[in-house]
Structure 1
Amino acid sequence: MKPAVYIALLATLLGILAINTEAIAQQGCGDYKIKDAQESYDRANFNGVFSSLMPCLENGFDDKQKILAYKLLALTYLAIDSTQQANSAIVQMLNYNPSYEPESDLLLPYRFVNLVNVVKESRTQSMQVTSVSKKPEDLYKAPATVMVLTEEDIRQRGYTDLEILFNDLPGFDVSRTYAITYSNVFQRGYRSDNTERTLFMVDGIEENDLWSNIVYWATQIPITNVKRIEIVYGPASTIYGANAFLGVVNVITKTPKEILGRKKATLSADIGYGTYNTRYMDVTAAAKAGGVTLSVTGRAYFSDLNDLSKYREYDYNPADYDSFNYSKALNFKGKSAAERYKILNSSTTTPYFTAVGDSVLVTAAGIEAARNLDKQALTQTLNGRSIGYTNELKTYYLKAKMSLDNLLISFETWNLSQGTVNSANDNSRAGARNGNVWRPLQSVFYAVYTNELIKDKLTLINTSQYRVTEIIDQSSTAVLKNYSNQGQILVTGDTLSAPSAVRLASNLVNQKKAYWETMYYYQHSNQFRNELRLMASPIPKLDVIGGFEFRSSSLQGDYKNILISRTLATPIDTSAKDYGKSSLDNTPGGNLFEVFNLGTFLQGTYAVNSLISLTVGGRYDYSRIRETGGYGSEFNPRIALVYTPGRLAFKAIYATAFQDASSKDRYALSSTRRLANPYLRPDHVANMELSVNYSLHNRTQLGITAYYSKFSDIVEETSVPYGNTTTQQKKNTGVANIMGVQANATFVLSEQFQVYANYTFTDATREDTLKKNETKRTNLVVGDIARHHVNAGINGNFLNKRLNANLRFNYVGAKPVGPGTSVATNTMQPNGEFPAYMLLNGAISYQVNRVVTAQLVGNNLLNKEYSDPGARSANGISQGYRTPQKGINGMIRFFISL
């Protein structure tokens, strides 16, 4: 169905619903009744409050009037010391307005404010979400599968950063490398090169890198200002457009008013020190002056991370080369290679190689010479330090918010400095302090204007933002060029080209030393974006949200990079930004690509009756790169039927999404990928899911979701002809089928104890690339994805809530790799899989006084030794095949609130 036809049908449906729906307001009830009740309350005529409001609560008031009515009833019940009835009225008020914050009204009695907060804490955490449809809606009626973690969850569980939380969520596989991307977070069984197909946001502002779409989700995001985190499962392009492919993670922080409450100034801090010389400080301050409220949050985090030098692939031990198979690395064959070798060495007699027909074979003397030259490289110094394993992490974050009437203005910036040696091994890269460091940076300035144009009927929200993402020019790699790794030329599955093989043999014949090559990188992209959306309730049973956005971006094509040194000399103080070159610098148009995007969406939710609601929506997107590039047009629908009998909620959802190819995928080249592909099309997915949720008195929550996703046009690297040899190129060749089940439960056992548990089953397959003479593709198991996950936790509070204890359990099933999987290059893992493991984590908190709370955090308490799979190709050469994880580790932290 064409987008125009779909939108016309949607508009017709909404029009019919509007014409045929009766107004709910009944004669004799309305705003004047609320006014009468308020006047009665002010005169302490409490019977007058009841007589004004009670007759209208059943059918006379609309939702907005009911909120005010229940608020007045709660105040009245408190005035006559009927706390239980006040509690019930507040529950009803929060059912209609879950986001109500009493602290914003300084005239309210303290008893009322306190009771509202108590009720909110005892209710189901996060009854309302905003990340599904960009509007407030009930968690169980939202047209998607959603989970919410609250500020209380984060603190009680001892999360010292917001990357750790994915351990305890259903539907996620995490592979931590503590390297370029810190960790790879895969949602619902989809394994990609990086964390790039889930949309990460803070306050609705995207965090994914503009150039690569990678999200550098490490330890930089603060905790002290977090209100809640909403996790949306499944495609979300109907609302967000490109790249909300697998789901959405949205960190919602507190507004300056929410931080202040009734105070004029406040400060909160989270300070910690722990294993691996890890230390951090996270501070939020807020103040009010006149009609302006301001908050500032800063965070700094430093760690030496886990020392992996005890593992063979990271010990930089020259003796490792004694068992290396140099014959496999240095022998080569082929008529062209042999002829080149003979010509090159026609006047030289060498004991290192012998030519036999079309083959050139390394001799025992050649093997010994290569081995000694490789050993010598590990005894050198680089960047003023001996070659050895080091890793480190430094992160900085700053966010400021200013609120003035209907306008919120904010600025956010963060940068990371991460060692990258874990991405490879000691036969490929040097340690962080030898110059192997990656430094992404991001800054964004945005303004949000909100105006209720027609009371309770029409609200306008406009968000304008300017964002910059960079790989700053101190980012560098220190790569080993030696004989065992064939000068970093060979990638598993390929063969050395004739010129490269001859060059390597010639180097050995001439006794050229193995050396460390330092390369500096730089990338800078920016974007201006504006989104205007309208939320309307034209009739009581219908809610509509629509919007229009445009993005104007300047995206870099390929890295700027500069080769600093092939020797042991200290690299000169220069930068890729000023002196570097790109493969695109000399092409027409240069290395910067102007990208223009338009998007418009419309979604309506109609309450068919008190039990059934129907959500129908669609979004149209258009993209152009320069004059003729870009994907052109995309349209993505969503339809959801929600049935809520009593405490049950049934959902049936269908949605599609697309992933736009990144500028990195289109244009960036490497030593193994020598062909760009500017004509890449978007990835596509169609997703269907069914779910049922059960809620009992807001104390017990049970839910299960089954889904099936069909992926097509997946961008992946494939081998293509290149001159007389082959190279890698990005192409739309991938097809995948993923089905799974997510189940979760939360039980409030008593005022003291709460438990949760969740389970994930994933069945993920990829179709193998069609090879020569094949007519049918074979199915491959998606590598690095566990078939089963189980997470559980229990929280208890004691000593009148001054002492809190939290214990969490994680079971991660075996993760298949190697032949028969989508990560066929990872052949070094025994038995072709990463074995299952169980972890136990805990946190104990004690409130010392009203200002200070101390917490002791322990992770991997059973000291389980296990490894996560490597990233990207994970071939054990240019990409490490595994990363050993942290053993038992801990943190002592202090929360300070002033």
Structure 2
Amino acid sequence: MKKSLFIILVLTVNIVFAQQIVTGVITDETNRPIDSVEISVKNTALKTFTDEQGRYSIEVPEVAATLEFTKKNFKVQVVEIKKDITNLNITLIASVDFFELTLEELMNVEVITASKKPENQKIAPATIYVVTEKDIIENGYTDLTNLLENVPGVVAIRTDHFTFGGQRGFLSNFSQTLLLVNGREMQNLFASETFISTQFATHNIKQVEILQGPASALYGANALVGVINIITKNGSSDYDEIQYRTEFGTQGTQAQSIVFGKNINDFRISGSFRYFRSNLWDYKDFVKDTVNFRQGVPSKAFPINQEFKQNSWSLPYAAKISYKGLYLGIEGYELKGSKGLENISLDYINQSDFRQLALYYAGIEKKISAKLKINAELQFYKERFWGVNYTFDNVIYDTLVKNGHNPELPLTDQEIKDNFMMAYSQQSSSGSKRYKGSIQLDYVPNQTLSIIGGYTFDMFDLLGLSLSTDKLNPSFDETRAIENRMRKPFFRQYKNSLFLQLQKTLFDKLYVTLGGRFDYHNIYKSILTFRSGLVYTPFKKTSIRFLFGQAFREPNIFELGASSAKNVVNELDPARMNTFEVGINQSFTSNLLANIVAYKNIATNFIEPTETGGFINSDNVINVFGIESQLFYKTGNFRTEIGYSYVKKDADDYAGVSTVNLGVYPHRITGGLTFNATDNFTINSRINYYSQIQAKHGNKDVTQIITIPAFAKVDLTFSYVKIKVYDAEITTQLLVTNVFDSTIYQPNIRIGGPKQFLQHGRQLFCNLVVRF
């Protein structure tokens, strides 16, 4: 009996030491307590925050663990916890100006998208480009499109409806890319597409992580060529302030926004709201251009004095409350546009598009033990959209001519309304819905091993469109029937998913990642995807990556037959992607850094339209080879970065010739130069160079390859930052985009009618940001 008690006592002592508790108080240099300081155990998911009195308490899983103390506007402090340390008081030092930091310190960035957990970008098992809030301010990025234009391997094309483009040689409307906000999907439900317009502004962005390469092993469907993850300010637990922002500029642009976050002991409330309106760009001359825009359609059919006017507004919003691991939130937007240059229209004044998307979520994040954390979350999405087109249609026009219309005369207003108006609507419906439940376990048995696994149930209950040629808000039939195009039975889809990822550190220099995912869909059945990564750090300033990833894009309801008159479901398999890549990050000095990555994409089963209006899986294998590189250099008050992208895509047979890189830019260069003129005044210039490109003519009735010349666009940003006025901090900015008012064309990669797209000319914007 005594022996048993002795054994129990020894085990109890060992457990206590294995779960050592460290407490303390965090103060500033004037000995005032600091709240909301994040205290984390390095290389684990363990963390806590100080309360209003600066107090904290954290369990340390190992006696040789390392604690990291971080707080915005303060220097990060790192302390190794030894066996006898149970009380640790820390004084945080206010951050020095960014230009006093080395590039290595500036670029010591933590990312979450590569592994669904925080980790240093240098050892993340993926190629990730990070744009921080500081980058956004210095470069004057106002929306996501503007930001993506400056990322290596990414192409963003403005249409003033929604952004076309993509990653690593696969261009469309970012339909091969998964868009996340704080790790939650924000694709549109109707076609599972990434719909990027003015609703994704930068007012609430803390950081954007652009993951290049397939990511379905972690995120499932549609992360075919990459992931864009927007980390918001209000969604970050360390954001504890109020920010008001006002913007105005050319084309009647104006916006007002507010972002706030407040921690009150264990309770937190945060939110973000923005109202934006603009006339965008005036294309009144371009839409009449019969050579560069509406080539391939009879010019005499259009009104002689055709007017052009845009009116766009957006209202993105977010709110979240949390208490002791429980949280509840909403993320969404309302958006209205005039469809821009998307189609060749007979009436740009009355053409419009309205969209509503809302995500409601609730969950719990709980630390079961020092080594195990669980997150469970329920999500509900709702979407509706409606609008009206006046797209020119050659078939309809030819019929009118056969029935007596004089082809030498323009169409009358009545002829346009009676024959070319097409309203599409879900306005009278209950909307498309999505129900998603997930659970994720994070297990960190020691500082060298991390295991993440989870399960997801996902159900879509989608609606089609009610179409009308005479009513703007036609009635909607929600009866589920194969003959009802508004709600066919296969519009309801569900899937179950399991994923597992293991990360192991070997010899303090080798970081191994292995992961896999199983998805079962009620239509296309089961699919497996895998990933692996090996990051080797032979020297302190060198890291080498060897990566392999798989991904898939599932067919959307259009491709499955939503618009087909046939009452059947098209038998389609998901498109597949395998990617191999190798990369190296090198710090030559503390102020000279470079990275380069080479990759090979192999795509199969791509879904393509047929001449009869259906869709099939292509037998072609698409190979894309590419190189991406960045160079960063800092000297004195100057800092510069240069990015280069090279892409070589297999030849396409089109218009009787075989063309390599058809619709793909072979070369892109992006560069930035920032000069800190004073402690508060910064000047930034950016240049984007696109090489000459050969692309399909944007009008499907014109089988022709066009050549779009190379161009360079220069932007300037003047920032006067951190002006102290009582308890507020003010930042003012003047932005000049396309400084030299260059004429820039980009390809119509979706072949929607216009030959090509004209990009915005010179624009001026002013921003005022007040932080409390």
Same structural fold, with TM-score higher than 0.5 when normalized by the shorter chain: yes
2:459 touches 2:493 (CA, 8 Å); kept in 1? yes
The aligned counterpart of 1:214 is 193
- Alignment partner for residue 619 of structure 1, among 492, 504, 517? 517
Q: Which residue does 2:579 correspond to in 1?
A: 687
Q: Say which of 470, 477, 493 aligns to 2:389.
A: 477
Does residue 548 of structure 2 align to residue 548 of structure 1? Answer: no
1:748 CA displacement: 2.9
Structure 2 CA distance for aligned equivalents of residues 199 and 634 of structure 1: 18
- Letter of the aligned partner of 1:527 in structure 2? R
* Distance in 2 of aligned mates of 1:269 and 1:711: 45
SS at match of 2:491: strand
Given candidates 651, 671, 675, the residue that maps to 1:792 is 671
What corresponds to 1:836 in structure 2? 710
Go from structure 1 to structure 2 and tell me whether the alpha carbon gap of 1:897 and 1:110 turns closer, same or farther (over 3 Å shift): farther
1:305 aligns with: 280
- 1-structure distance, mates of 2:65, 2:94: 15
2:396 corresponds in structure 1 to 487
Deviation at 1:538, TM superposition (A): 2.6
Please say if residues 256 and 403 of structure 1, whose CA atoms lie closer than 8 Å, have aligned partners that are also in contact: no
In the other structure, the counterpart of 2:368 is: 453
- Of 524, 539, 563 in structure 2, the residue corresponding to residue 631 of structure 1 is 524
Give the structure-1-normalised TM-score.
0.71
Q: Secondary structure at the match of 1:123?
A: helix
Contact 1:224 1:268 (8 Å CA) reproduced: no
Q: Which amino acid is 2:365 matched to?
A: T
Structure exhibiting the larger radius of gyration computed from Cα positions: 1
Task: Give 1:16's aligned residue.
Answer: none
Preserved contact between residue 870 and residue 881 of structure 1 (Cα < 8 Å): yes
**Cα distance change of structure 1 residues 298 and 421 upon mapping to structure 2, 3 Å threshold:** closer
Check the 8 A contact 1:735/1:767 in 2, yes or no. Answer: no
Corresponding residue of 1:533: 440
Letter in 1 for 2:247: G
Structure 1 CA distance for aligned equivalents of residues 65 and 507 of structure 2? 21
Instruction: Provide, for residues 700-742 of structure 1, a one-character-per-residue CA deviation record: whole Å limited to 9, x for no partner.
Output: 33110000011111111121xxxxxxx2221111531111000
Partner Cα separation in structure 2 for residue 815 and residue 855 of structure 1? 34
8 Å CA contact retained: 1:562, 1:581: no
Q: Which amino acid aligns with 1:152?
A: K
Query: Which residue of 1 is the match for residue 403 of structure 2?
Result: 506
Aligned CA distance change for structure 1 residues 612 and 272 (closer, same or farther; 3 Å): same
Hey, what's the Cα distance between the residues in 2 that align with 1:506 and 1:132? 60
Match 2:353 to one of 431, 438, 442: 438
Q: 1:272 aligns with which of 223, 247, 251?
A: 247
Conserved 8 A contact 2:19-2:61: no
Amino acid at match of 1:763: K
Partner residue in 2 for 1:183: 163
Equivalent residue for 1:732? 617
SS at match of 2:605: strand
Q: Does 1:409 align with 2:328?
A: yes
Partner of 1:165: helix, strand, or coil? Answer: helix
> Is structure 2 residue 599 aligned with structure 1 residue 707?
yes
2:140 to 154, 158, 166: 158
Among 501, 518, 522, which residue is 2:421 paired with? 518
1:36 and 1:694 map into 2 onto residues whose CA distance is 38
Instruction: Classify the secondary structure of the residue corresponding to 2:558.
Output: helix
* Contact 2:103–2:633 (8 Å) recurs in 1: no
Distance (whole Å) between structure 2 residues aligned to residue 619 and residue 788 of structure 1: 34
Moved more, 462-471 or 686-695: 462-471
Letter in 2 for 1:464: L
Aligned to 2:54: none
Matched, 1:746 2:621: no
Residue 649 of structure 1 and its aligned partner are, at CA, apart by 0.7
**Aligned counterpart in structure 1 of residue 549 of structure 2, from 655, 658, 671:** 655
CA distance in 1, matches of 2:215, 2:378: 21
- Give the letter for the 2:416 counterpart: Y
Contact 1:256 1:293 in 2 (8 A): no
Residue aligned with 2:500, SS: strand
Q: Does 1:607 align with 2:502?
A: no
1:463 alignment partner, one of 366, 369, 377: 377
Amino acid at match of 1:730: F
CA distance in 2, matches of 1:689, 1:645: 19
Per-residue CA deviation, residues 109-142 of structure 1 (Å, 9 max, x unaligned), is 7644658999899724352211112111221221
- Using the TM superposition, give the Cα deviation of residue 768 of structure 1 relative to its aligned residue in structure 2, in angstroms: 4.4
Q: Residue 153 of structure 2 corresponds to which residue in structure 1?
A: 171
Residues in 1 aligned to 2:549 and 2:362: alpha-carbon distance in whole angstroms: 30
Cα distance in 2, alignment partners of residues 871 and 429 from structure 1: 22
Q: Structure 2 vs 1, CA of residues 68 and 604 (structure 1 numbering), >3 Å: closer, same or farther?
A: closer
2-structure distance, mates of 1:779, 1:581: 48
Confirm or deny: 8 A CA contact 1:669 1:676 kept in the other structure: no
Letter in 2 for 1:652: F
Where does the alignment leave 5 or more consecutive residues of structure 2 unmatched? 1-13, 32-58, 82-86
The one-letter amino acid of 1:785's match is V
Change in CA separation of 1:448 and 1:185 when aligned onto 2, cut-off 3 Å: farther
Deviation per CA, 1:213-248: give whole Å up to 9, x if none. Answer: 222211212433322111111000000111100000
| 2:212 counterpart residue number | 233
Q: Residue 5 of structure 2 corresponds to which residue in structure 1?
A: none
Q: 2:77 aligns with which of 86, 90, 114?
A: 90
| Cα pair 1:870 1:880 within 8 Å, conserved | yes
8 Å CA contact 2:638–2:673 kept in 1: the answer is: yes
The yes-or-no answer on 1:422 pairing with 2:328 is no
Aligned-partner SS, 1:156: helix
Please state how far the C-alpha of 1:745 moved relative to its aligned partner: 1.8
Q: Is the 8 A contact 1:235 1:656 kept in 2?
A: yes
Q: Which amino acid aligns with 1:858?
A: V
Closer, same or farther in 2 for the Cα pair 1:803/1:211, shift >3 Å? same
8 A contact 2:216–2:550 mirrored in 1:
yes
Contact 2:651 2:662 in 1 (8 A): no
Distance in 2 between the 1:257 and 1:550 partners?
26
For structure 1, the residue ranges without an aligned partner over 5 or more in a row are 1-26, 45-60, 76-85, 95-104, 327-369, 380-385, 490-500, 565-571, 625-629, 720-726, 772-776
Conserved 8 A contact 1:858-1:890:
yes
Question: Partners in 2 of 1:696 and 1:534 — Cα distance?
Answer: 39
8 Å contact kept, 2:20–2:61: no
In the alignment of these two chains, the number of paired residues is 704
Distance in 2, Cα, partners of 1:778 & 1:620:
41
- 1:252-331 equivalences in 2 (<5 Å): 252-255=231-234, 258=237, 260-261=239-240, 266-288=241-263, 291-311=266-286, 313=288
User: Match for residue 893 of structure 1?
Assistant: 767
Deviations 1:276-320 (A, max 9, x none): 11111121123455642211201111111111122263699xxx9
SS of equivalent to 1:607: strand
Higher strand share: 2
Name the counterpart of 1:99.
none
Percent identity, please.
22
Alignment-mate amino acid for residue 735 of structure 1: V
- Contact 1:125 1:148 (8 Å CA) reproduced: no
Structure 1 residue 658: Cα displacement: 0.6
Structure 2 SS opposite 1:440: strand
Cα 1:700–1:404 shift into 2, 3 Å: farther
Deviation (angstroms), 1:642: 1.3
Q: In 2, are the aligned partners of 1:449 and 1:462 still within 8 Å (CA)? A: yes
Summarize deviations over 1:614-639 as a string: whole Å, max 9, x none: 21111100001xxxxx1100000111
- Per the alignment, residue 147 of structure 1 pairs with 129
Opposite residue 867 of structure 1, the aligned amino acid is Y
Shift of 1:827: 5.8
Q: 2: CA distance between counterparts of 1:33 and 1:424?
A: 65
| Mapped contact 2:577–2:603 kept (Cα < 8 A) | yes
- 2: CA distance between counterparts of 1:562 and 1:591? 22
SS at structure 2 position matched to 1:454? coil
